Chain A
Amino acid sequence: MRLIDTRLVMLAAGTLLSISKGVCAADAQGFAPDQIRLGAELFAVNCSPCHGPHMQGSESAFDLRKFPPNQRDRFLNSVTRGKNQMPPWGDTFSPEQLDALWAYVVAGER
């Protein structure tokens, strides 16, 4: 009985793990690779001078890898209108480019 219980627990855990992996994969796959690539290119030219190459580096203005992935509106608002020392970029990036930047920030380097 104890053996069965253990198997059941392992089975349940495995199922949960599979589901969890599936959800994560779906999140990451919610952004097309081309979209993430475009975001990376835009980031490298316009954002990396302050936020570090690939969002890395001990000397950067704000570590964007820590940006909450469920706060898309906050991200878009900050980029388009500016925040603190960051100037507004609303007239530079198209909606598609902003989505690409968001895709890169959420899924490009984490």
Chain B
Amino acid sequence: MRAIASAAIVIFLFCASSFAQTLDDLKQDGNGGSTDNILTYGMGYRLHRYSPLKQVNKLTVKRLVPVWSLSLDNNWGEQAQPIIYNGIMYVTNAKATVAIDVATGKQIWKQTLDWPPETPRIVCCGVSNKGAAIYDGKVFRTTLDAHVVAYDAKSGREIWKSKAAEWKDGYSMTGAPLIANGVLITGISGAEFGIRGFIDGWDPQTGNKLWRRYTIPARGEKGNETWPQDNNAWEVGGGSSWITGSYDPELDLVYWGIGNPAPWASQTRPGDNLYTSSLLALRPKTGEMVWYYQFTPNDPFDFDACWEPIIADIDVAGAKRKVIMQLNRNAFLYVLDRTNGDLVSANAYETANWASRIDKETGRPVETEVAKKVRSGEEVEMWPSTRGGKNWPHASFNPETGLLYAPTMHRGGIYKHLPVKDRVPGQRYQFIENRPTPSEPNSAIGHVDAIDPLTAEPKWRIPLTDHPIWSAILTTGGGLLFTGKETGEFVALDVENGKELWQFQTGSGINAIPVTYTYQGRQYVTVLSGIGGLWWNAAREQLKDKVPQGGSVWTFALFPE
């Protein structure tokens, strides 16, 4: 009887542990851990979006074929990165969370969300969700109407749901959460509606809020002096945090990019407007800010600084440095010392006419007449456009080549500030006119680039003349770069020269985040298809008769020889 009880306990513990991801598991994800799993957004805390897998390589990729596809029954668009654990894939979009059997593509469970139909009014850039987090047997996600939810990873049962903010005031959530040092960390969207941004730390077990780090300091707090003292601009000053940060467990620092100030028209908010358009280094247990770096002080362009902060240890002038790299929307590529925020290098990777260079001593941009004219309300041709030299689709850092691989944009904007009016909760708070510059037919409006982090010089760049790439990039030990096109093609390029080696038409546009992993010794590649997001808003007239809507998961593997 005692033996039976012991066996039962062992079986229970085995079953429980097979669904319980530890903090060590998360640290090892993309860093020596099992390639069967993808436990973090970014395929590792460093956000490399790189896998050493090489079963699918330059020679074998011609045999890459779809092994299953699953409809997500969603027309809003797919942007997410799948999370994978023990043969189960977890996928999110704005409407649902789905658990899928990796081997067969069969749906195991699905939890739908029911947000008010008016909610998309306060979503600036696509009704979407970028993915889940997983820890200790729970799957965590954010919702469009600004809640955080935890599901049981095995059954899909809702364990807790906590409200982060009121969507009617302009707050929304589309980003993937981050688990760092046992704390669930989430960002917020809404700078286009005049929110006061923040980053939250939650107890993953209960959903209780542990801390909130406002991205704009209150009166009396350090940094508030960079806002006017005679109006309430700081209370409605934006500073979203809508892209997931990175984490260095050794330094115990989370790095999180902060978005643009509000409104975009800058006349009511003279000053640097800390900590908008900045990178913050935070302690995950408390939210304490250890250092910050502001890229675009008093940002009047919507340049943001939300994009992925990529961690690496690289050689700088003969010495190994712990750095963090960001292809900032303002068209400069920044490399910072991640221990203290010191500037290592900052060079333009795309055309910029708002600043001539970044001052190496002060770390501030040396602005041109274009920036002055923008602030004075003149209409200007601005490079890059408000969409930036790069938008959210994530870059990959390949440690084998030492290069960043990024989808970049080559487009200017005709841009003008309008007079600022009082904020109405839940309504746009931008006050600008913004049109793309005309472009010649067949001229490049974007590229796929392989970029040296320190010089920002491209090793190669592949021009795109129809649509920019709105899919993240994945690179592999097989010498491949995977990404997707708005016109539906999932493609594999040669990381050495950008030459296209393979493509597959997925049936809708791709604006999501590809991953690769193993299951029972076989390498798989997965991407979500389903046109949506900002470019679907912008290019609908061009795309509506060519690219159908509809979300689906596509998984590929090599056809046996």
Give residues in A with beta carbon < 8 Å to B.
44-46, 48-50, 52-54, 56-63, 82, 85, 87-89, 91-92
Contact = CB atoms under 8 A, between A and B. Distances in A.
Contact of A57 (B121, B427, B436): B436
Given A85-B76, A88-B117, A62 B127 contact: no
Interface string B97-121: 0000000000000000000011111
B428 interface: yes
A92 B427 CA distance: 9
B192 A49 contact: yes
B435 A53 contact: yes
For the complex of A and B, 10 pairs with smallest distance between CB atoms: A59-B538, A87-B120, A53-B433, A57-B435, A87-B121, A45-B428, A61-B540, A59-B436, A87-B118, A61-B537
B537 A58 contact: no
Contact of B537 (A45, A48, A50, A89): A50
Contact of A52 (B124, B421, B435): B435
B434 interface: yes
Contacts of B433: 44, 48, 53-54
B436 to A, nearest CB: 5
Given A61-B538, A87-B121, 5 more contacts: A45-B428, A45-B431, A48-B433, A60-B540, A60-B541
A63 B541 contact: yes
B127 A85 contact: yes
Nearest to B416: A53
A88 B435 contact: no
Interface string B409-449: 00000000010010000111011011110100000000000
Contact of A60 (B120, B426, B538): B538
A52 B536 CA distance: 14
A89 B426 CA distance: 11
A91 B118 contact: yes
Nearest to A58: B436
B539 interface: yes
The CB with the most chain A CB atoms within 10 A, among B426, B431, B537, B539, is that of: B537
Contact of A62 (B76, B117, B121, B541): B541
A50 B117 CA distance: 17
B428 A46 contact: yes
26 contacts: A44-B418, A44-B433, A45-B421, A45-B428, A46-B427, A49-B192, A49-B430, A50-B537, A52-B435, A54-B433, A56-B435, A57-B436, A58-B436, A60-B538, A61-B537, A61-B538, A62-B540, A63-B541, A85-B127, A85-B536, A87-B117, A87-B121, A88-B117, A89-B118, A89-B121, A92-B427
A60 B542 CA distance: 9
B315 to A, nearest CB: 42
B121 A85 contact: no
Given A89-B121, A91-B118, A49 B428 contact: yes
B548 to A, nearest CB: 13
The CB with the most chain A CB atoms within 10 A, among B118, B427, B431, is that of: B118
Nearest to B124: A49
Interface of B: 76, 117-121, 124, 127, 192, 418, 421, 426-428, 430-431, 433-436, 438, 536-541
A84 B372 CA distance: 40
A63 B544 CA distance: 13
Contacts of A88: 117-118
Given A45-B427, A53-B435, A58-B436, A85 B537 contact: yes
B90 to A, nearest CB: 26
A60 B76 CA distance: 17
Contacts of A85: 76, 120, 127, 536-537
A93 B428 CA distance: 14
A49 B433 CA distance: 9
B464 to A, nearest CB: 15
Contacts of B430: 45, 49
A63 B431 CA distance: 21
A49 B302 CA distance: 13
B428 A59 contact: no
Contacts of B192: 49
Contacts of A44: 418, 433
A57 B120 CA distance: 22
A60 B428 CA distance: 17
Contacts of B421: 45
Nearest to A42: B427
Contacts of A45: 421, 427-428, 430-431
Contacts of B539: 59
B535 to A, nearest CB: 9
A62 B537 CA distance: 9
A53 B76 CA distance: 24
A56 B541 CA distance: 12
Nearest to A53: B433
Contacts of B434: 53
Contacts of A89: 118, 121
B86 to A, nearest CB: 37
A94 to B, nearest CB: 13
Nearest to B125: A49
Contacts of B538: 59-61
Contacts of B119: 87
A44 B537 CA distance: 17
B486 to A, nearest CB: 13
A7 to B, nearest CB: 48
Nearest to A82: B117
Contacts of A61: 537-538, 540-541
A45 B538 CA distance: 17
Contacts of B438: 58
A89 B120 CA distance: 10
